[in-house]
């Protein structure tokens, strides 16, 4: 498994990272996935305090604590559960982040977090206060680096410009190329992209056509355009899964492509896809068969 550096940081992460949100809640079942990931060279694991109200962090911490020194562990904050209430509230305040990181450290059984990410963001946030929290945590050695998870270009640009974030997690795939417009801006600020939705909810696998027929559209694609596009991609290659992984990783802005897996077998399918060599010419053909949509909202003014 090859590694890449996240932005201007010293964090060297595997080209495939494991998004832990999809892990089974059973400890033994989750451990089989995480162990298989590590054994196959994955060193980057991403969770969040929001997932399962913190129990995902507990699960990840319990399983990974014995091998922690070899791993890059990332989590997120900014969403706050309120006891007795449905859903969660957005709170990017310094007070909340300083409290949330302590709770995450306890659940993860860690002394420090490698990459701590703001889990969202709006232009109404007091970004100076939010960034100040991350700066303090980094100075105190509680986190090594910080980043943001967002698909709002305006929020991303402001966060990068006013701080020293090294990562931006974004939904990005052959079927959602909207982030490409802003990759140069992200790189110019010394940050890297961490992709999520790399196989677009399974649309970029051999089950793609069947899945497309059950969906009302995806990203900026209408229902009809989605079906036509997935069909066109499927006709050009017998291994759309492998092509999807290669597409994400061909971008210089991308440090790691997150994948999800509930079983070792699902993980192995993606590992096989990663190891499959894709002809650059085929990748170009597949790219031309998709549309490079643009974000219609939250745009950065040129």
What is residue 64's three-state secondary structure?
Answer: helix
Residue 299 inside a domain? The answer is no
Q: What is the pLDDT of residue 186?
A: 98
CATH for 279: 3.20.20.100
Which of the following is catalytic: 51, 116, 146, 172?
Answer: 51
Cβ(105)–Cβ(113) below 8 Å: yes
| Local confidence band at 141 (pLDDT 50, 70, 90 cut-offs) | very high
Please tell me which residue, 216 or 50, carries the higher pLDDT value: 216
Let me know if residue 171 belongs to a domain. Answer: yes
- The residues pairing with 148 across neighbouring beta strands, listed in sequence order, are 118, 168
**57-116-98 Cα angle (round to 5):** 90
Residue 72 belongs to what domain range?
Answer: 3-288
How many independent structural domains does the chain possess? 1
State the average pLDDT over residues 231-238: 96
Residue 296 lies in a domain: no
In the predicted model, what is the mean pLDDT of residues 263-267? Answer: 96
pLDDT 10s digits, 152-202 = 999 999 999 999 999 999 999 999 999 999 999 999 999 999 999 999 999
Q: Are 120 and 76 in contact (CB under 8 A)?
A: no
Q: With respect to residue 298, please indicate whether it lies within any of the assigned structural domains.
A: no
Q: How far apart are CA 194 and CA 254, in angstroms?
A: 6
Q: Convert 142-164 to b/e letters by CB count within 10 Å (16 or more is b).
A: bbbbbbbbbbbbbbbbbbbeebb
Percent of the chain with pLDDT over 90: 91
Tens digits of residue pLDDT in 21-53: 999 999 999 999 999 999 999 999 999 988 778
Question: Average per-residue pLDDT in the chain?
Answer: 95
pLDDT band at 76 (very low <50, low <70, confident <90, very high): very high
- Asked if the structure places residue 256 within a domain, the reply is yes
CB 296, CB 150: distance < 8 Å? no
- To the nearest 10°, the Cα dihedral for 129, 134, 138, 140? 60
In a domain? residue 300: no
Phi, then psi, of 258 in degrees rounded to 5: -75, 140
Rounded to the nearest 5 degrees, what angle is found at the Cα of 92, between the Cα atoms of 86 and 96? 80
- For the chain, how far is it from start to end, CA to CA, in angstroms? 38
Active site residue 51: yes
Share of the chain above pLDDT 70, in %: 99
Quick one: average pLDDT of 282-287?
Answer: 97
Residue 137 lies in a domain: yes
Is pLDDT of 282 > 70? Answer: yes
Tell me, yes or no, whether 212 lies in a domain.
Answer: yes
Under the banding of pLDDT at 50, 70 and 90, the label for residue 302 is: low
For residue 72, the number of C-alpha atoms closer than 13 Å in the C-beta half-sphere is 26
Distance CA 128, CA 46 (A): 25
CB 116 within 8 A of CB 134: yes
- What three-state secondary structure class fits 4? strand
């Amino acid at each position: 498994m090859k590694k890449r550096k996240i932005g201007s940081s010293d964090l060297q992460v595997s080209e495939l990272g494991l998004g832990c949100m999809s892990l089974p809640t059973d400890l033994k079942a989750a451990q089989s996935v995480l162990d298989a990931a590590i054994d196959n060279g994955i060193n980057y694991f991403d969770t969040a305090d929001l997932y399962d109200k913190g129990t995902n962090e507990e699960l990840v911490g319990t399983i990974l604590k014995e091998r922690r020194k070899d791993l890059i562990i990332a989590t997120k904050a900014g969403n706050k559960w309120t006891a007795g209430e449905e859903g969660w509230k957005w709170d990017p305040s310094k007070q909340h982040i300083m409290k949330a990181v302590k709770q995450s450290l306890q659940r993860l059984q860690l002394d420090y977090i490698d990459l701590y990410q703001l889990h969202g963001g709006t232009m109404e946030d007091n970004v100076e206060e939010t960034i100040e929290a991350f700066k303090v945590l980094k100075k105190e050695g509680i986190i090594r680096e910080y980043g943001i998870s967002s698909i709002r270009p305006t929020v991303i640009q402001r966060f990068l410009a006013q701080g020293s974030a090294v990562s931006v997690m974004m939904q990005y795939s052959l079927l959602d190329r909207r982030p490409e417009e802003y990759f140069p801006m992200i790189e110019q600020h010394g940050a890297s992209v961490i992709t999520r939705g790399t196989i677009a909810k399974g649309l970029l696998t051999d089950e793609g056509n069947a899945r497309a027929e059950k969906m009302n559209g995806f990203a900026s694609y209408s229902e009809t355009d989605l079906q036509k596009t997935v069909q066109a991609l499927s006709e050009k290659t017998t291994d759309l899964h492998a092509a999807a992984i290669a597409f994400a990783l061909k971008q210089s802005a991308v440090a790691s492509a997150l994948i999800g897996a509930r079983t070792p077998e699902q993980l192995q399918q993606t590992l096989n896809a990663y190891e499959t060599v894709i002809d650059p010419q085929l990748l170009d053909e597949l790219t031309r068969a998709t549309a490079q949509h643009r974000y219609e909202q939250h745009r950065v003014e040129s």
